[in-house]
Amino acid sequence: MKVAVVGVTGLVGTVMCEVLENRGFPVTSFLPVASARSVGKEVQFRGKTYRVVGLEEAVGEAPDIALFSAGGSVSKEWAPRFAEVGTTVIDNSSAWRMEPDKKLIVPEVNAAELTSTDKIIANPNCSTIQMVVALSPLHRAFDIRRLVISTYQSFTGTGMQAVKQYNLERKGYQPQEEEMAYHYPIFENCLPQCDVFLDNDYTKEEMKLVHETRKILGDQSIRITATAVRVPVHGGHSETVNVEFARPYEIARVRELLAATPGLIVLDNPARHEYPMPLFAKNRDEVFVGRIRRDESADNSLNLWIVADNLRKGAATNAVQIAEYLLANKLLDRRKATA
């Protein structure tokens, strides 16, 4: 199995390599790929040293799988070129997520949609991934009508520059303007802006939660509103999710459904102060859910607190799990993509 990691020197690319190792994915030939400025650098994978290659060279190698985490513009240009030589691309950017002919996949939710003809597969947004893992079984049981979401997102989701800004501020230094990932300090601060503002005054991140959730759950009628906040947390993303169902539910049944969901850990014991936190989720592949309680202000409504490591399940792990599903179900077709 020849596997390329595109964007290998970035934050998510680095974690993709770790996840491939941790999960024992059968990589027989490893291709670390990055932009021209990183070509020639060395990276470690399974105890061996590899030289980073450029995109053109990597396409020439025609890998079986290419895990992309190199930004939307790179994905738009290069993912089709990899697909043309028979590579299956799993892309972590937002470039393909809302394309009607591209699958947006969270394996625990909708992997069954995949076929051998899917040559470019979209990995959803980190906040969306962890939320739909918890919401999918509840939607099937009780029919979700409305979601009110507030996110508390780690600065690591912004990338290396945000980590640098945070570390400088933590040490008491004022970063230079060119070192700032945000308009304001992130250390000991919360920023009610994730990504850029759109014409409707929501951010791009907030609207990803709207559009991607509907696509993954296969229901365009769900009403969704979101507020996304960047927080000075290193370990992962947290979300409060208020859910309104079309049908009545019992808390016991909600807990039962969540406990039976693959990849989901219920951590919810108020009497013992047990609930999910980024501290517990860091470096874990599972999604954690807790603070499960009825919303007493509205009919058929529920409150959830959902936490996951945004670099693992929110990005790298989900991508590798897609690759695992393709391999296990013999869906890695080496034929070249057709126009």
Note the pLDDT tens digit of each residue in 79-103: 999 999 999 999 999 999 999 999 9
**Residue 333 has what pLDDT?**
77
Share of the chain above pLDDT 70, in %: 98
What's the CATH number where 152 sits?
3.30.360.10
Structural domain includes residue 87: yes
Do 162 and 119 reside in the same domain of the chain? no
Integer angstrom CA distances of residue 335 from 60, 63, 241, 265, 294: 15, 12, 42, 39, 51
**Residue 336 has what pLDDT?**
61
- The per-residue pLDDT for range 287-306, each reduced to its tens digit, is 999 999 999 999 999 999 99
Do 137 and 115 reside in the same domain of the chain? no
Structural domain includes residue 292: yes
Rounded to an integer, the average pLDDT of 263-289 is 97
Do 119 and 208 reside in the same domain of the chain? no
Structural domain includes residue 144: yes
Rounded to an integer, the average pLDDT of 266-294 is 97
Asked if 273 is an active-site residue, the reply is no
Asked if 237 is an active-site residue, the reply is yes
Regarding pTM above 0.85, the answer is yes
What total of structural domains would you count in the chain? 2
Query: Is 252's pLDDT higher than 50?
Result: yes
Query: Is 249's pLDDT higher than 70?
Result: yes
The letter for the amino acid at 109 is V
**Summary count for the chain: helices (H), strands (E):** 10, 13
Structural domain includes residue 336: no
- The per-residue pLDDT for range 177-236, each reduced to its tens digit, is 999 999 999 999 999 999 999 999 999 999 999 999 999 999 999 999 999 999 999 989
Rounded to an integer, the average pLDDT of 244-260 is 98
Mean pLDDT of the chain: 96
- The per-residue pLDDT for range 135-150, each reduced to its tens digit, is 999 999 999 999 999 9
Query: Is 76's pLDDT higher than 70?
Result: yes
Do 72 and 112 reside in the same domain of the chain? yes
Question: How many other C-beta atoms can be found within 10 angstroms of the C-beta atom of residue 64?
Answer: 20
Query: Is 335's pLDDT higher than 70?
Result: no
Structural domain includes residue 334: no
Sign of CA dihedral 74, 75, 80, 86: positive
Structural domain includes residue 287: yes
Rounded to an integer, the average pLDDT of 149-166 is 96
Alpha-carbon distance 237 to 306, whole Å? 8
Do 141 and 264 reside in the same domain of the chain? yes
Do 275 and 143 reside in the same domain of the chain? yes
**Residue 339 has what pLDDT?**
42
Do 286 and 142 reside in the same domain of the chain? yes
Structural domain includes residue 339: no
Do 182 and 55 reside in the same domain of the chain? no
Share of the chain above pLDDT 90, in %: 97
Do 270 and 150 reside in the same domain of the chain? yes
Question: How many other C-beta atoms can be found within 10 angstroms of the C-beta atom of residue 62?
Answer: 16
> Residue 104, exposed/middle/buried by CB under 10 A (0-12, 13-18, 19+)?
buried
Structural domain includes residue 338: no
Alpha-carbon distance 179 to 158, whole Å? 13
Do 147 and 242 reside in the same domain of the chain? yes
Query: Which of 17, 139, 194, 237 does the annotation list as catalytic?
Result: 237
Query: Which of 126, 190, 194, 234 does the annotation list as catalytic?
Result: 126
Do 293 and 264 reside in the same domain of the chain? yes
- The per-residue pLDDT for range 307-322, each reduced to its tens digit, is 999 999 999 999 999 9
**Residue 235 has what pLDDT?**
82
Q: Which domain holds residue 120?
A: 2-124+316-328
- The per-residue pLDDT for range 192-207, each reduced to its tens digit, is 999 999 999 999 999 9
Do 237 and 97 reside in the same domain of the chain? no
What's the CATH number where 76 sits?
3.40.50.720
